[in-house]
Structure 1
């Protein structure tokens, strides 16, 4: 639980961070506002409790300060609001950039939980989730009590739940870390998105290690361009935030980060390049991945249950992070070597069919460039891919996605993938146009996702590979204001079984 603080204490703390902080008392009057006590922080006006500080932040669609009245009626009337604008309905602590101070404030109220934990953060374009879970597996095998927060789940010792976003908002993240501390955790493995860094969700967290996996175009709707995207990632790797940087140097951005960060650096190369830790002789098959791991005083043969040569890079980063902080390499490898496949990450769907069917989360060009050559290596036949593009994201990547996949697949089935507020037909057309720009590409457009998966399965023959990409283990499709349940793995299994029972499925349309 947070440590309640009087409003004057909160103001003094915030003024150390931002001298321009001021209190606008509103109807409560200054004496009434200053007499308040802050017992917690929330961004959700419907979740406030008496004495909470309600953070009314600017957002993509509306400003949180518009919900000050709802927060007051829900029980925050004895508390205050933190925002960049005042409201007559709640006393307000006004600060120019409320996000910048929200994380440190939440950390302070919770007694700075990350200082009592070894927090291992993982960022990068691809491989974040797998590396985060591999770190957690290595920690557990080494006897550490471990919390975990990733795209897939949030787990404190003896407690788990699905994740709502890759990196939680600052008050929720600090509450999670405090819960881990209270449960006796020693370590936390934390997936860190570029949104989590740029929107200050991890500000106030002290990292024992921070891992950089790789960087390729993604999320440019938020960051503007690739340099802005890199800058967001690189902001995690400062001495004020992390004690040790573990940097993958198989791309130019990783090499740049390793040269420029002021943190102590350990470098890793999943391609056997010049680095402190290297993966060599990587062998990836349909049953798992093996490689030779070398590092300072370490030379081991490693076998993973995970599919894809890229998992050697992820495992290498996890080992380097943990062994560099003093854990025994054989303990760590025992956990990593027995770690099972993650849901929706090259997850096989096997109903006895004579071809390989999988679901994967790959949703950007970097992910496809890692995934599809591996799948191509598994077959002398055809590679069939079901794909789409999520709406209200970087429009510049849609055609590039289609082109990237068509260059590496034999058949591309383009379908809807959570259009949100965008026109689904426009999204499909952009992806399909990119795919059709590849000479000789076989492209099918099919709006209904279940039907598209069935069409792809119908195109798949003995010895072929069919993969549904983009969503992984996600179980919702969002179209406008409509949210419906949909699981690619369930739909793929149904299509495989239907084909086995009834023969080929008619073409889409």
Structure 2
């Protein structure tokens, strides 16, 4: 998404006072004064006519290697580092070339903000970070504001949307030029609020540079991305950058995990806290409290309390105390943004609930007959544990879990994922998800090794093919049982050997249920 109406700015003005150019290379004064740009892109394939192309180093290739494709697509100039400049000159790409002292990634956000005019959004801007719960909190924020009659813009793992126009997402937070193009489009559409999920990678890779949030929220921290950050301390430190004046004005921090205390104590912006009754460590006091009042297979009722601001009772069309906690965080963030509980409550009372429908988050795909089947996108040990706990609360019979893990993603968490899946289920079926270029058998073996630390071999079933795994689960399930399939629910494909093959976990589950004579 890019704004339709945008300025065409002299390239020297775009780069001025932002980009440090390498000594000995051409400076801004060497540029043709008439050379202008109206867009910024870090992907040669997505360059549009009039773009400044940023050639940045990647995990496998240097973006400058694709400079000729960028030129063919209409780029007017290239900004890259010394390594990229060598590639461009070697390939003889005929475009004005500027060489920065460091990777252009470090100032892509500020450049894109200048091009797309996003320095002042004139809209409430909200950001959410944490290992799990970012997407659900973002969608709860979006739902509440839409129920208040406001126009919203949303950037989440599940989708990007402006008003009712939506597109599928693949990255939690897109690259900086895409973020600012999206924000510029939101401005053009007249949104009242912009909601952005912020990953650790978004912070360390400068994807949200140039964005100023009115309120940011922290959900939790658990085992993930150690292949990138090495330690949990480093992983948390990456997320803590959001809680500084560079990015935010105020913050709401959930204290349900120990990391919340660290974020609260080390934040350099004003902080309000929230916790969940029965989850918050005894002795720790939060400003807001979330209390679960009723759980069933269709919804969760809860109350949020603040000693000075009052209380609000509502419900969500989802199961799980962790989902209610995320909804409570959304309510507290809106209160910090200046909305009263009475205003929020009146909007929710009209519908009887927070009317949020979260793609791939504990979605019930079964009908009234046969076992209950939920699909979920959880792919960390903590997410699996919480989702299993949620379905256990509403299951009279046994819980059957289908689990897999992604290839080329933090292998250190796989055994913990297997252990969490085994501990919370009566039968665990291990299958393949996104194996990518890894050996899927080795991925399954790691999950099984973890599972065997928490249960016996006769409670673990290995079924490599996902289509067969769901059928194996249904064959072993009775009418009072629940099947939970974690890991693929927010995507419509499987990446096998680097090829994305169509696969919809919800539709496959429904198909399997119907084959067994159940409605779905």
Q: Distance between the aligned counterparts of 1:350 and 1:439, measured in 2?
A: 28
CA distance in 2, matches of 1:57, 1:165: 18
Structure 2 counterpart of 1:321, from 306, 311, 333: 333
1:396 to 383, 406, 412: 412
Deviation of 1:129 after TM superposition, in Å, equals 0.7
C-alpha change, 1:446 and 1:114, in structure 2 (3 Å) is: farther
Structure 2 residue 468 is matched with structure 1 residue 462: no
- Answer yes or no: is the 8 Å Cα contact 1:83–1:98 preserved in 2: yes
For the residue of structure 2 that corresponds to 1:75, the secondary structure is coil
Contact 2:121 2:187 in 1 (8 A): no
Counterpart in the other structure of 1:504: none
- Stretch moving more, 353-362 or 446-455: 353-362
Deviations 1:280-300 (A, max 9, x none): 244322121112211132122
Matched, 1:306 2:318: yes
Partner of 2:270: 264
Aligned match of 1:507: none
CA offsets per residue over residues 165-209 of structure 1, 9 Å max, x none? Answer: 211111111011011111111211111112212211111100011
SS in 2 for 1:500: coil
Does residue 511 of structure 2 align to residue 494 of structure 1?
yes
* 260, 278, 294: which one aligns with 1:283: 294
**Residues 468/406 of structure 1: CA separation in 2 closer, same or farther (3 Å cut):** same
For residue 44 of structure 1, what is the aligned residue in structure 2? 43
State the distance in 1 between where 2:267 and 2:415 align.
34
How far, CA to CA, are the matches of 2:188 and 2:103 in structure 1? 31
Q: 1:188 aligns with which of 189, 194, 205?
A: 194
Residue 84 of structure 1 deviates from its aligned partner by 4.8
1:385-464 correspondence runs (5 A):
385-441=401-457, 442-464=459-481
- Partners of 2:377 and 2:15 lie apart in 1 by 44
Shift, 1:114, TM fit = 4.8
Instruction: Count the aligned residue pairs.
Output: 495
Which residue of 1 is the match for residue 252 of structure 2?
Answer: 246
When residues 379 and 10 of structure 1 are mapped into structure 2, their CA distance, relative to the original with a 3 A threshold, is: closer
Alignment of 1:34-433 (within 5 A): 35-76=34-75, 78-85=76-83, 86=85, 87-88=88-89, 89=93, 90=95, 91-271=97-277, 273=280, 274-295=285-306, 296-334=308-346, 337-433=353-449
Aligned partners of 1:146 and 1:189 also within 8 Å? yes
1:470 Cα deviation after fit: 0.6
Counterpart check, 1:476 vs 2:487: no
In 1: Cα distance, 2:115 partner to 2:397 partner: 59
Instruction: Describe the SS at the equivalent of 2:125.
Output: strand
- Conserved? CA contact 2:415–2:451, under 8 Å: yes
User: Cα distance, 1:338 vs. partner?
Assistant: 3.6
The runs of at least 4 consecutive aligned structure 1 residues that moved more than 6 Å come to: none
| Change over 3 Å in CA distance of 1:2–1:435 after alignment to 2 | same
- Find the aligned partners of 1:48 and 1:22 in 2 and give their Cα distance: 28
| Greater alpha carbon shift after TM alignment, 288-297 vs 6-15 | 6-15
Which residue number corresponds to residue 506 of structure 1?
A: none
Further displaced range: 127-136 or 104-113: 104-113
Q: In the alignment, is the contact (CA less than 8 A) between 2:292 and 2:321 conserved in 1?
A: no
Please list every run of 5 or more consecutive structure 2 residues that lacks an aligned counterpart in the other structure. Answer: none
| CA-CA distance at 1:428 after TM superposition | 1.1
Question: What stretches of structure 1 of length at least 5 have no aligned partner?
Answer: 502-509
Q: Which is further off, 363-372 or 336-345?
A: 336-345
Once residues 50 and 344 of structure 1 are traced to their aligned partners in structure 2, the CA distance between those partners, rounded to angstroms, is: 36
Query: Does residue 7 of structure 2 align to residue 3 of structure 1?
Result: yes
Q: Matches of 2:130 and 2:293 in 1, distance apart?
A: 21
* RMSD of aligned Cα (Å): 2.1
Q: Deviations over 1:406-458 (max 9, x none)?
A: 11111111111011111111111111121123242511111111111111111
Q: CA deviation at 1:35?
A: 5.0
- Is 2:143–2:356's contact at 8 Å kept on the other side of the alignment? no
**If the length of structure 1 is used for normalisation, what is the TM-score?**
0.92
1:327, CA displacement in angstroms?
1.2
Stretch of structure 1 that moved more, 67-76 or 395-404: 67-76
- 1:116: Cα distance to partner? 2.3
Which range moves more in the overlay, 448-457 or 38-47?
A: 38-47
Q: CA deviation at 1:22?
A: 5.4
1:334 is displaced (CA, Å) by 5.0
The Cα shift of 1:242 comes to 0.4
Correspondence 1:12 to 2:21 = no
Question: SS state of the match for residue 221, structure 1?
Answer: helix
